[in-house]
């Protein structure tokens, strides 16, 4: 690794602590026949532990071609690891699916922080057969994703990711375990993807975003602004779901957003996608 210059622009903060790397593989529930997609293998420290845990196929997508010789050396013992060089967000999901021959797989990664949210949405919206996602993220982001109603961290991302799967924080990871050391702490997020996709998830997500668009505003205000409808009509739809129009989005559990979306569809305020 002496010759390698870490690139801040790619979010390169590498891990070396073998106990932690094994714990992440354990959190992901990787069994000895599982297929795994890893995003950003870096120098291959997590990839190595994944390859020790499974004989299934591991596809590791890395943006930085300068890591190719290092990865090839570090992973030469593991014929089941396939290295792909490119930007994960520019690779069509079908290509990833084809690399696993359409079989289900788990996602395990220490994600680059600068694009961790887009990568999570790329994965959950891809329609790929993903069993679960276990990723290292900035701690504040994990805390927001797993937050429950009526807390300061609860927001659109908590509701939307909660529609796709069961979200949990499995562990906190201090900044001191990374090289180079970042100026934030991290945590591991687990998303156990629900086998049946929530019906109308696209519309529900839009309603959630509208409801949280201005956090300090009431549901009534955010919706009449987003839908461009008279207040009385918006309030009537909210009340038909047992929601007080003057409450804020942060007090609604995800079930209420589903109910509200259905009521807005019935009132023809929003269309089916
Ligand atoms: N897995 C390694 C570890 O735990 O030590 C490295 C993790 S480091 C936080 C993130 C890795 O993602 C880096 O290797 C970086 O080059 C890579 N990366 C950054 N942006 C990427 C992208 N858009 N697509 C694929 N890999 C990316």
Q: 91 C-alpha vs ligand 1 centroid, how far in Å?
A: 15
Whether 150 and 209 share a structural domain: no
Mean pLDDT of 153-165: 97
Number of domains in the chain: 2
Whether 76 and 16 share a structural domain: yes
Domain assignment present for residue 2? The answer is: no
Specify the CATH number for the domain of residue 244: 1.10.8.100
Whether 174 and 212 share a structural domain: no
Contacts (Cβ under 8 Å, ≥6 apart) of 69: none
Whether 157 and 207 share a structural domain: no
Whether 120 and 148 share a structural domain: yes
β-partners of residue 36 are 58, 106
Residue ending a domain, choose from 145, 166, 197: 197
Q: Is 44 in the pocket of ligand 1 (CB under 6 A)?
A: no
Per-residue pLDDT at 2: 53
Q: 63 C-alpha vs ligand 1 centroid, how far in Å?
A: 7
Q: What is the pLDDT of residues 228-258, one digit of tens each?
A: 999 999 999 999 999 999 999 999 999 999 9
Specify the CATH number for the domain of residue 68: 3.40.50.150
Whether 189 and 205 share a structural domain: no
In the chain, which ranges are continuous DSSP H helix? Answer: 18-27, 45-53, 68-74, 93-99, 116-125, 139-145, 156-164, 201-211, 219-227, 231-240, 254-266
Residue to probe by mutation, ligand 1, list 6, 10, 47, most atoms within 8 Å of CB: 10
Whether 205 and 120 share a structural domain: no
Q: What is the pLDDT of residues 29-71, one digit of tens each?
A: 999 999 999 999 999 999 999 999 999 999 999 999 999 999 9
What domain range is 207 assigned to?
201-266
Residue 55 DSSP SS3: coil
Whether 167 and 243 share a structural domain: no
Q: What confidence category does residue 272 fall into, taking pLDDT thresholds of 50, 70 and 90?
A: confident
């Amino acid at each position: 690794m002496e010759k390698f210059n870490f690139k801040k622009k790619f979010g390169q903060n590498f891990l070396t602590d073998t106990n932690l790397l094994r714990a992440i593989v354990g959190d992901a529930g990787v069994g000895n026949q599982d297929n795994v997609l890893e995003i950003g293998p870096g120098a291959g420290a997590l990839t190595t532990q994944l390859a020790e845990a499974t004989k299934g196929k591991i596809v590791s997508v890395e943006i930085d071609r300068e890591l190719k010789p290092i990865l090839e050396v570090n992973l030469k013992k593991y014929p089941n690891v396939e290295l792909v060089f490119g930007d994960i967000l520019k690779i069509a999901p079908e290509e990833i699916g084809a690399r696993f021959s359409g079989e289900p797989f788990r996602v395990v990664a220490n994600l680059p922080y600068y694009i961790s949210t887009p990568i999570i949405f790329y994965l959950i919206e891809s329609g790929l057969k993903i069993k679960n996602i276990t990723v290292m993220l900035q701690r504040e982001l994990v805390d927001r994703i797993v937050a429950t109603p009526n807390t300061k961290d609860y927001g659109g991302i908590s509701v939307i990711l909660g529609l796709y799967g069961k979200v949990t924080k499995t562990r906190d990871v201090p900044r001191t375990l990374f090289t180079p050391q970042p100026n934030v702490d991290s945590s591991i997020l687990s998303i156990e993807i629900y086998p049946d996709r929530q019906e109308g998830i696209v519309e529900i997500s839009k309603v959630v975003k509208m409801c949280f668009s201005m956090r300090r505003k009431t549901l009534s205000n955010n919706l009449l602004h987003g839908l461009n409808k008279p207040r009385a009509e918006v309030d009537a739809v909210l009340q038909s779901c047992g929601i007080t129009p003057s409450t804020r989005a942060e007090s609604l559990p995800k079930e209420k957003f589903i109910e509200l979306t259905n009521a807005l569809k019935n009132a023809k305020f929003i269309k089916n996608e």
